[in-house]
Chains A and B, each alone.
Chain A
Amino acid sequence: MKRYSVFAVAREGARHHTGWERAWRSPEPKKSYDVIIVGAGGHGLATAYYLGKNFGITNVAVIEKGWLGGGNTGRNTTIIRSNYLQDSSAAIYEKARDLYETLSQDLNYNVMFSPRGLIMLAQTHHEVRGYQRTAHANALQGVKTEFISREKVKELVPIINIDGPRYPVLGGLWQRRGGTARHDAVAWGYARACSDMGMDIIQKCEVTGVRRIAGRVVGVETTKGSIDCNKLGIVVAGHSGVLAEQAGFRLPIESAALQALVSEPIKPCMDVVVMANTVHGYMSQSDKGEMVIGGGTDSFNNYTQRGSFHHIEETVRALVETFPMVSRLKMLRQWGGIVDMTGDRSPIISKTPLENCFINCGWGTGGFKAIPGSGWAMAELMAKGYSPLAAEFSVDRFKEGRFIDESVAAGVAH
């Protein structure tokens, strides 16, 4: 693999950009691999990457039904933060945020990590107390956040209406090193690095069955034929239930469409990420100038990748209250992704009833921010059978009542 650098740009500029090579290979599947990862989204590719980088396991295939990063990795609102209440969540999300800091250098691929700062608005007295508590918890967890005054919020976000018709802004939970990254680049960067280590990324190849013998996985059936493996990792977000059914076990997961939308591009007006959980809307401005807006989740199970229209109305209504200038914006695009929701709204990184099959799912509405940490933990779990970061996220917690209750801690915009 030729490294990307300022010299490469200069060299290619001088020869009319004829020397760039493909970022990753598109091979046909081999007969067998040490590890098969199902799902070439951020989490699947990160798992493969850290299997290779941290554990030297490179005889790996990443199998993808559609195209690389075409699921939720390409559909989220690109927000990165780690201001969670519970210790186990803060640990894995902070690990991910920390890895994002140097991810571009690690991958030799610009993921455009932009730690521009992130505010979660406190708009009720309950939220003020909740976020003050989170700030104290974060201090103990080594996550740098602080509770800021409403005047400071106004200073950071001049376009905000802190007096609000329904919910005045009373303060905010501020994470200075939270921010955004280029979501596609994260998938592409990991894919390029995996391909460079000799891993096969096989796109347009749907897994149609999981072959099992005596409680072990021996391989998968795909639309490109049968492939053997020693270990299987299922990292397919919204379709986890479908894969689990093929593998013969059940999951505490329900899938629904979560929406997002972007406005027309405008001049820079907001250089931080703002989440308003009481009125339920969150917004950041992309480098192109579009306002990137996160919407609501459908209340019923579905796989439509579209979402119900009335959620857009509710989201935009909330944002117009908080940011009056939004009322003058045209919205350009709207889309949906299928999120996999668990009972406690925390993810599952776990062993399964099958001895050599592992699953990473349940990231629900907030998986993008966790990609590097999730891949790190999943790789460790698959290579060594135990990962301290993943331990609390095992699927047994539902039977044992050890919930990681972030649905209360994080409000709706998770």
Chain B
Amino acid sequence: MLTLQCPYCGVMAEETELSAGGEAHLKRFGPGSTDADFETYMFMRENPKGVHFERWRHANGCGKWFHAARCTVTLEVFGTYPAQTSVPPADLLDKIRAARPGFKWREFE
């Protein structure tokens, strides 16, 4: 079972204690945006076979949203970090680059 550490309360939470919130760091487009921008925001997804950045909520715990970097093939978790950021932290990216040569996710590689 997938286990993630909640960065707020520090609990090692099992999958059933969490709810998945989909891809992280999406830039939102609303009324007044172009069709292409809205489509990209609403539907287009990275869906990588490898390291992915996601939103999770510690639903049956402290209830807060956070981010996680996780491999979609091995389920290895590289780290979790608070929701109040629009990009992954630099030290986490370094850790992923070291573990996964050739890593690429959106503009990060």
The answer to whether A251 touches B19 (Cβ under 8 A) is no
A/B pair count, beta carbons within 8 Å = 65
CA gap between A301 and B23 in the complex, in Å: 9
Which of A250, A301, A398, A400 interacts with B72 by CB under 8 Å?
A301
Chain B residues with CB below 8 A from A254, complex form? 22-23, 45, 47
State the interface size on chain B (CB cutoff 8 A).
27
The answer to whether B49 touches A303 (Cβ under 8 A) is yes
The answer to whether B49 touches A308 (Cβ under 8 A) is no
Which of B15, B19, B39 interacts with A398 by CB under 8 Å?
B39
Given contacts A253-B45, A310-B15, contact A300 B39 (CB under 8 A): no
Q: Which B residues are closer than 8 A to A by beta carbons?
A: 1-2, 15-16, 19-20, 22-23, 35-36, 39-40, 42-49, 52, 54, 70, 72-75
A300 to chain B, nearest CB (A): 4
CA gap between A68 and B2 in the complex, in Å: 31
Chain B residues with CB below 8 A from A299, complex form? 19-20
| B16, B20, B44, B46 — most chain A CB neighbours (10 Å) | B44
Q: Does A67 contact B (CB under 8 A)?
A: no
Which of B2, B42, B49 interacts with A239 by CB under 8 Å?
B49
Q: Does A266 contact B (CB under 8 A)?
A: no
Apart from A254-B22, A308-B15: 8 A-B pairs, beta carbons within 8 A: A255-B72, A299-B19, A303-B72, A308-B2, A310-B16, A342-B43, A343-B42, A398-B39
Given contacts A310-B1, A399-B35, A399-B36, contact A301 B47 (CB under 8 A): yes
Chain A residues with CB below 8 A from B39, complex form? 252, 398-399
The answer to whether B42 touches A251 (Cβ under 8 A) is no
CA gap between A400 and B73 in the complex, in Å: 33
Chain A residues with CB below 8 A from B47, complex form? 241, 251, 253-255, 301
The answer to whether A252 touches B43 (Cβ under 8 A) is yes
Chain B residues with CB below 8 A from A251, complex form? 44-45, 47
Q: Which 9 A-B pairs have the closest CB atoms?
A: A252-B43, A241-B47, A300-B20, A299-B20, A399-B39, A398-B43, A343-B43, A302-B72, A250-B44
Chain A residues with CB below 8 A from B54, complex form? 300-301
Q: Mark A296-327, 1 if CB is under 8 A from B, else 0.
A: 00011111100011100000000000000000
Q: Does A8 contact B (CB under 8 A)?
A: no
Given contacts A299-B19, A309-B1, A310-B15, contact A241 B44 (CB under 8 A): no
A339 to chain B, nearest CB (A): 12
Chain B residues with CB below 8 A from A342, complex form? 43
Which of A252, A301, A400 interacts with B44 by CB under 8 Å?
A252
Nearest chain A residue, comparing its CB with the CB of B34: A399
Q: Does A139 contact B (CB under 8 A)?
A: no
CA gap between A302 and B70 in the complex, in Å: 10
The answer to whether A301 touches B52 (Cβ under 8 A) is yes
The answer to whether B75 touches A241 (Cβ under 8 A) is no
CA gap between A398 and B37 in the complex, in Å: 12
Can you name 6 A-B residue pairings with CB atoms under 8 Å? A241-B48, A250-B40, A254-B23, A302-B72, A304-B73, A399-B39
Nearest chain B residue, comparing its CB with the CB of A399: B39
Q: Does A242 contact B (CB under 8 A)?
A: yes
CA gap between A251 and B40 in the complex, in Å: 9
Chain B residues with CB below 8 A from A241, complex form? 45-49
A338 to chain B, nearest CB (A): 9
B55 to chain A, nearest CB (A): 10
Chain B residues with CB below 8 A from A308, complex form? 1-2, 15
CA gap between A379 and B39 in the complex, in Å: 28
Q: A residues 325-360 with Cβ under 8 Å of B? A: 342-343
A258 to chain B, nearest CB (A): 15
